[in-house]
Amino acid sequence: MYDLVIIGSGPAGMAAAVYAARAELDFIVVEKDISGGQILETSDIDNYPGYQNISGFDLAEKFRAHAEACGTEIIEGMKIEDFKQIEGGFELLFDGAKTIETKTILIATGANPRKLGCPGEEELAGAGVSYCATCDGAFFKGRETMVVGGGNTAVEDAIFLARFCSKVTLVHRRDSLRASKNLVTKLQSLPNVTIIWDSVVEKINGEGRVSSVVLKNVKTGETTDYPVNGVFVAVGTKPNNLGWSGKIPCDESGYFIAGETGETQIPGIFAAGDVRTKNLRQIITAAADGANAVYRIEQYLAEMR
């Protein structure tokens, strides 16, 4: 029986692996796909300390190399189906009927941004289409950008981008924003922000880079080709909670309810990174989560003895 099984190999999982190795825990990391997590899809990262500019792929490689240098075993291609509580811990069931027993579980499976699903979105992701204004906004200094969404995140993104973009256009499918009133008031006071109501993105155009967006008015059906350099999609995120929201308490959006220690409401099961309830989902906060969770797991294991 392992001391710990870490599910997921993104920043939270790899940071947890480094700390688990340093604590001399008997552990493994399991990943259903290839190691790296969401950052593999990020072309440029300039807000992770120590790297003024690095690709997501390269940073993921460095995370993995560090964890492996500490002796971490990473098993890829293992899709988890379920878990059950057993004496002294848990049994994890994997696709193919393989089982692993462990005293604790750390879920670090992250979350994925909800997408628009329109033509051009997938093709231009990382080439003008972004799902994180905080991550990628600085690359659009002095340029025209568009934010799609109507909640707090979308409005906060538009306010953030307005600091350095020449023009920011917020597009929302309804005729009023769902964001808090104070944010809306601040947004509407900015001279370089325009709001387009009752509209959805039909298509994102560009040859290698975003050049324009086709907008459709949901009331009139009229379409407009709107020139823009970047599109920031802020229509929510979807946690990769493994379908366990019925077994481990989650909030209404499906994120595991867990604080800074990573403890869920099931003793012995922890959550770290974007899959847990938190205010800021970034590489740096995911890595910090992994460290905090393992620190608490060490204490938990000591208490079990």
So which residues are the catalytic ones? 132, 135-136
DSSP symbol at 38: G
Q: How far apart (Å, rounded) are the C-alpha atoms in residues 214 and 212?
A: 7
Spatial CB neighbours of 295, under 8 Å, sequence gap ≥ 6:
19, 261
Query: d(Cα 233, Cα 95) in Å, to the nearest integer?
Result: 33
Round to whole Å and give the CA distance between 201 and 118: 7
Q: By C-alpha distance, which of 119, 153, 139, 107 is closest to 255?
A: 107
- In the block, residue with structure tokens 């009133």: 181
Instruction: Please count the other Cβ atoms lying within 10 Å of the Cβ belonging to residue 76.
Output: 12
Residue 94 to residue 248: CA distance in whole angstroms: 18
